[in-house]
């Protein structure tokens, strides 16, 4: 089957949105799940969270940041190009049900997987308070979409160029301190942000969930690269998650595991960029 790229745009520096014609995936997709794609038959398997899906048109949207060789290669593709594989939906869907008030926190590219959850929680009858953040206003993504999908939207930037001058966790704490009865907090973003956010929210009587999609490698539970310790037990992010109880996640181990392949990733990226400079790719 041919998985054709219908739309491709850069929505922030080195952050790209891609809409794929994938009817079977779109038909079965739910918020919180992910796909695995390969650019060509020799390509690396890359897991990406589903940022949006339309069952009627059969399209699936993914958002990715240029980090290593494959995402840089993916960024060079355009509308009309095709992907070798686009497999999914994979992973356990987010636990979406009517709870009352839910706070959704997204940092950086983590806003992408927050977006379908915001729509799903609202459709389930919840009040959704969304908080999105980035280092500066130019790196914010899906602001308009999140505003439409949420009951309330707050913005934070590290440098104060838009919204609150500070961190998303500052706004989250302010809401939790306000007396608003919050049933659940969902935090998705860089591991350090999720760790800090979980720590800030822990003293409150609220359920805290995090999505650990950033550690996934193979995406099927076969490679073991996404092992995390949750509540003292070993879990595989791709098949047991990617959503887990934040109070039980060993974030120190998670961040150490994320650094394991940094050398190989850097080497692969450097070789790819050298080929590009030489006109070999």
The answer, yes or no, to whether residue 65 has pLDDT greater than 70, is yes
Task: Tell me the mean pLDDT in the region 20-41.
Answer: 93
The whole-number pLDDT of residue 256 equals 81
Q: Closest Cα partner for 31 from 264, 180, 136, 188?
A: 188
The whole-number pLDDT of residue 44 equals 84
The whole-number pLDDT of residue 251 equals 81
* pLDDT tens, position by position, 195-210: 999 999 999 999 999 9
In which band, very low, low, confident or very high, does the pLDDT at 266 lie, cut at 50, 70 and 90? low
The whole-number pLDDT of residue 50 equals 93
* pLDDT tens, position by position, 66-119: 988 888 999 999 999 999 999 989 989 999 999 999 999 999 999 999 999 999
Residues 6+ away with beta carbon under 8 Å from 222: none
- CA distances to 47, 114, 191, 223, 228 from 250, rounded to whole Å, are 22, 22, 11, 20, 7
How remote is the C-alpha of 103 from its chain's centroid?
16
Burial, 252: exposed, middle or buried (Cβ in 10 Å; 0-12, 13-18, 19+)? exposed
Contact between residue 191 and residue 17 where contact means Cβ atoms under 8 Å apart: no
Residue 63 annotated in ligand binding: yes
Looking only at the bridges linking them, the beta strands covering 3-12 and 82-83 are antiparallel
The whole-number pLDDT of residue 226 equals 72
DSSP letter, residue 42: T
Q: Closest Cα partner for 38 from 8, 89, 83, 72?
A: 83
Task: Tell me the mean pLDDT in the region 252-269.
Answer: 65
The answer, yes or no, to whether residue 272 has pLDDT greater than 60, is no
Task: Tell me the mean pLDDT in the region 110-131.
Answer: 96
The answer, yes or no, to whether residue 265 has pLDDT greater than 80, is no
How many whole angstroms separate alpha carbon 178 and alpha carbon 176? 6
> Could you give phi then psi for residue 91, rounded to 5 degrees?
85, 165
- Element (DSSP H or E) covering residue 208: strand 207-211
Lowest mean pLDDT among 57-66, 107-116, 209-218, 219-228: 219-228
DSSP string, 83-98: ESEEEEEESPPP----
How many whole angstroms separate alpha carbon 212 and alpha carbon 38? 21
How many whole angstroms separate alpha carbon 73 and alpha carbon 163? 34
Domains and CATH numbers, the chain: 3-90 (2.40.30.10), 101-209 (3.40.50.80)
DSSP letter, residue 180: -
* pLDDT tens, position by position, 233-254: 888 877 777 899 999 988 888 7
Task: Tell me the mean pLDDT in the region 250-274.
Answer: 64
To the nearest whole number, what is the mean pLDDT of the chain? 88
Angle, CA 188 vertex, CA 187 and CA 193 arms, to 5°? 80
pTM listed for this prediction: 0.87
How many whole angstroms separate alpha carbon 208 and alpha carbon 246? 5
The whole-number pLDDT of residue 91 equals 87
Residue 238 annotated in ligand binding: yes
Decide which of 272 and 220 is more confident: 220
The whole-number pLDDT of residue 259 equals 64
Residues 6+ away with beta carbon under 8 Å from 177: none
């Amino acid at each position: 089957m041919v998985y054709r790229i219908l739309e491709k745009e850069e929505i922030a520096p080195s952050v790209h949105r891609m809409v794929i014609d994938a009817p079977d995936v779109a038909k079965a997709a739910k918020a919180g799940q992910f796909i695995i794609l390969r650019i060509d038959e020799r390509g690396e398997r890359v897991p990406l969270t589903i940022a949006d899906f339309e069952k009627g048109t059969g399209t699936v949207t993914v958002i990715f940041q240029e980090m290593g060789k494959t995402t840089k290669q993916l960024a060079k593709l355009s509308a009309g190009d095709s992907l070798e594989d686009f497999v999914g939906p994979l992973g356990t869907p987010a636990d979406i049900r009517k709870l009352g008030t839910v706070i959704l926190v997204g940092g950086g590219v983590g806003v992408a997987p927050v977006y379908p959850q915001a729509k799903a929680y609202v459709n389930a009858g919840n009040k959704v308070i969304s908080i999105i953040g980035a280092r500066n206003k130019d790196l914010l993504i899906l602001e308009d979409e999140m505003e439409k999908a949420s009951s309330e939207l707050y913005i934070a930037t590290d440098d104060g160029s838009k919204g609150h001058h500070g961190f998303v966790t500052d706004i989250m704490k302010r809401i939790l301190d306000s007396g608003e009865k919050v049933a659940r907090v969902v935090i998705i973003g860089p591991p350090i942000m999720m760790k800090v956010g979980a720590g800030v929210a822990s003293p409150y009587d609220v359920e805290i969930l995090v999505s650990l999609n950033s550690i996934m490698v193979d995406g099927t539970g076969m490679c073991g690269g996404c092992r995390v310790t949750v509540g003292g037990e070993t879990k595989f992010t791709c098949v047991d998650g990617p959503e887990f109880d934040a109070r039980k996640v060993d974030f120190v181990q998670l961040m150490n595991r994320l650094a394991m392949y940094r050398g190989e990733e850097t080497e692969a990226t450097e070789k790819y960029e050298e080929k590009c400079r030489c006109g070999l790719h």
